[in-house]
Chains A and B, each alone.
Chain A
Amino acid sequence: MLQRSGRMLGFALGMTGAAALVAGVSSAAMAEFQPQKPIEFVVMAGKGGGADKAVRFLQSIMAKENLASVPVIPVNKGGGSGAEALVYMKGKTGDDHTIMFTLNSFYTTPLRQPELGVDITTFTPVMRMAEDTFCLWVNVESGIDNIDGFVKAAKAKGKDWIMAGTGKASEDNLLTDYLNTAYGLEMKYVPYKGGGAVAKELAGKNADSTVNNPSEQEPFFKVGDASNKTKPIACFTPEPIYEGVPTFKDQGKDFVYFMQRSVVGAPGMSAEAAAYYQDLFTRVFNAKDWQAYRVKQKLQGDPLSGDALMAYWKKENEVHRGMLKEMGEIK
């Protein structure tokens, strides 16, 4: 009780400060909507995964900086590559107290499973918090130094070249298919349960390559340390993120791929509530902890909200539709 009232006091102080700072649209909207009960923060993945960690980190920022007047409670709905979470959100249509943290399965799962009847354009855009990056990684003992060496080695091994990734038709699978097509390879894609397990398979030489996010593979990448077991060969980013490691663009392949890390509101959420969450996550985005986290995890992507975020979804949805078609996952 004591803590609760302390939190309320902190919130009131924060509100005064925030109102002074961002006077205008947001403070006016906030006056109209205040959450009346705990906010449910749905995670499209199981406990302990990358998305779950990010949500719990966001939750800790909101609590630490007293940004929300009510508790924010993460709820894991990881079943069916996010299908469970999407169906759950659809069932929450019109709810002002349910938000969700999404990945690219936000596009791919409804595309692959039209029977779910989920239309992502009905969801309420809140805020894109970041875009996660991808690189191609190999074991340091493989002797591969650049993309040419990689292509040569992978060609020599043919179908015995193991690319470890996280699940069929996931981001990793899309990238593997892209590499196979772009360089005429026949790498075999083997799905594992999460990015951490995938990173470990490469470090333990049970796989030949991965297309992990930097945050997933970096525990095994530090030159000069005993832990330096894997290294990046090239990244799927517009600009290089590691010194001396080119992008695929530099290599003449016009291909860039990101994983969105966005906050989405339930379909049919009231405009006042949407404005409240947009303001809330703007402040979370600007918090120094989130900024530090973005740098450390090599996250990119400017904040996007409202119509701009919706336009981004529509664009990305079409990109993924094309990729899934090429894979033969959908017609």
Chain B
Amino acid sequence: MMEIISLLGHGFVVALQPLNLVLIIVGCAFGLFIGAMPGLGSVNGVAILLPLTFLVPPDGAIIFLCAIYYGAMYGGAISSIMLGIPGASTAVATTFDGRPLAKQGLADKALTAAAVASFVGGSISVVLFTFFAPPLAHIALTFGSQETFALMLLAFATFVGLGGDDIAKTIFSICIGLVLAAVGLDIITGRPRLIFGDISGFMHGINFLVLAIGIYGIGEMLWTVEENAKAGGKSMLSEAVITVDRIKNNVIELMGTWKTMLMGSLLGYFVGILPAAGATPGSLMAYGFAKQMSKHPETFGKGNIEGVVAPETANNAASTGSMLPMMTLGIPGSPTTAILLGGMVIWGLEPGPRLFTSNPDFVWGLIASLYVANLFALILNILFIPAFIWVLKMPFTILAPIILTLCLVGGYAPTQDMHDVWLMLIFGLVGYLMRKLDYPVAPAVLAIVLGPLTEPALRQSLLISGGDPMTFFYRPYSGPIMVIALILLLLPALPPLYRMVTGSGKKKASDSA
């Protein structure tokens, strides 16, 4: 224990060197910006800046890139709340309640909540990282495809109630998402599938962002244009005000959500350390759990502050968590850490189980810099809130073209392929129609994010077991997770079944449910 504290103290000496401190602040600010821009996200930001980092020593380089990664986690919430477009897949769940809050004129509340929750999630997870990295790395190592599948099933299970009361429409929406997720390369057979003949744009699959920006960004815009026409051109994207008093009250109100914050932090961190999972499933699961645990689950999706707090604590906690397999096992926990891993090789480091002993300066400098980055990201974020609010006050006629441009750039940037832009516009129309017909869109987005993680895990497990599904229940970690997932999946079906069995006497109760 004392040894860890002294190593951490030494790490702070590294992190607080003037050059590294400047890199942290610049990295956070840059991360905040790319996180807030739909389509840019931390993967692209880190990949683009990677070659520049040989200008500074390795510890400075990784500190800079991690600060970007961290800042982007904070920034992702901004466009989710203000525009209803998730800036990155990690911020999808933040849209569900953040956007309704903004529409009610409470954008400042949602933004403050996101910033504070990110800080809490980041801080708790960095402390966990500091003290429990090696034993957790061992658990992560024994996690196989069976465990990954069980965990993904749990993520889906927590979301069964997400689409509202109409279970059939929710399942329909999930199926659409799963089909879209299947487009592209099938890694088990190594052949492309669902590429409509040989349209090469489909070969890289359908990027989550293309669907999310289409459905949320373009779809939302069409929706607002219609509202605007009905209101005689007077409607605004959001009403918003901000004063110091309001921020103070918001922070006080957030104290009441400490349970959700703790749950989101722990869940996010533990999901984040699992190789290949990353921050997105963690934040989605945290949202689902917060809703399941809540006394008023019906207020979720309509502007419940806990619906912002849960995913935001979880995605920051998970981003720290995903550095654990990167640093202790040498395998990436998320696409961004995969690039960071490449960076370490460029700087002449050897990522993997020996990094902690061979380069203690580097490791502890990085860990200490996460503490510092967390603090600066919070300060920067709070300082910028008035600027964001000011943007929201612009009339819709000015804001609409800006948003549309952001959407188009966001669709083009990840793959630099016009194919994706056309696809995004089509999804926008589909999203608008789905909304008109009262189909929930969130389950489709969930499915396209989790589908590519779930399917290979399922098929690898069944390949290993020779087709025996019981393989999921025999293993020490996957067994309990599977049982919880199945209970959660079946739970919503139980009351209607019970009523069916006992007759129609309770029909009234089911109508009002």
Q: Which residues of A contact B (CB under 8 A)?
A: 47-49, 52-53, 56-57, 59-60, 63-64, 74-75, 77-81, 83-84, 87-88, 112-113, 115-116, 159-160, 162, 167-170, 188, 190-193, 196-197, 199-201, 203-206, 218-220, 222, 225-227, 292-293
Contact = CB atoms under 8 A, between A and B. Distances in A.
Contacts of A205: 142
Tell me the interface secondary structure of chain A in the complex: helix
Contact of B335 (A47, A60, A83, A87): A47
A66 B464 CA distance: 49
Given A56-B51, A57-B342, A199-B331, 5 more contacts: A63-B54, A83-B203, A160-B466, A168-B191, A225-B357
Given A115-B198, A168-B190, A220 B338 contact: no
Interface size class of B (residues with CB under 8 A): 35 or more
A191 B188 contact: yes
Nearest to A293: B345
Contacts of A116: 198
A168 B188 contact: yes
A103 B432 CA distance: 43
Contact of B200 (A88, A112, A206, A293): A88
Given A47-B338, A56-B51, A188-B463, A204 B143 contact: yes
Given A57-B345, A191-B190, A200 B353 contact: no
B352 interface: yes
Nearest to B463: A190
B342 A52 contact: yes
B204 A47 contact: no
B347 to A, nearest CB: 9
A123 to B, nearest CB: 17
Contacts of A48: 332, 335, 337-339, 341-342
B352 A167 contact: no
B464 A162 contact: yes
B187 A80 contact: no
Contact of A78 (B43, B204, B331): B204
A58 to B, nearest CB: 10
A200 B331 contact: yes
The 3 closest A-B CB pairs, nearest first, are A48-B338, A219-B352, A227-B353
Nearest to A204: B141
Contacts of A78: 185, 204
Contacts, number: 149
Contact of A84 (B203, B331, B354): B203
15 contacts: A53-B342, A56-B342, A60-B50, A79-B184, A79-B200, A83-B192, A83-B203, A112-B190, A113-B192, A167-B187, A168-B190, A170-B190, A188-B463, A197-B331, A219-B351
Interface string B189-214: 11110010010101111000000000
A190 B464 contact: yes
A70 B203 CA distance: 30
Nearest to B342: A53
Contact of B353 (A84, A113, A225): A225
Contacts of B4: none
B43 A47 contact: yes
A203 B141 contact: yes
B346 interface: yes
A168 B346 contact: no
Contact of B187 (A57, A113, A191, A201): A191
B38 interface: no
A144 to B, nearest CB: 20
A112 B192 CA distance: 11
B466 A159 contact: yes
B142 A190 contact: no
Contacts of B188: 168, 191
A100 to B, nearest CB: 15
B345 A193 contact: no
B51 A60 contact: yes
B236 interface: no
A108 to B, nearest CB: 9
B331 A196 contact: yes
B145 interface: yes
A191 B352 CA distance: 22
Contacts of A200: 141, 275, 325, 329, 331
B144 A167 contact: no
B276 interface: yes
A98 B238 CA distance: 46
Interface in B70-88: none
Given A57-B342, A87-B203, A206-B145, A81 B335 contact: no
B400 interface: no
Contact of B144 (A201, A222, A226): A201
Given A80-B192, A191-B188, A200-B329, A206 B352 contact: no
Contacts of A225: 353-354, 357
A112 B350 CA distance: 36
B105 interface: no
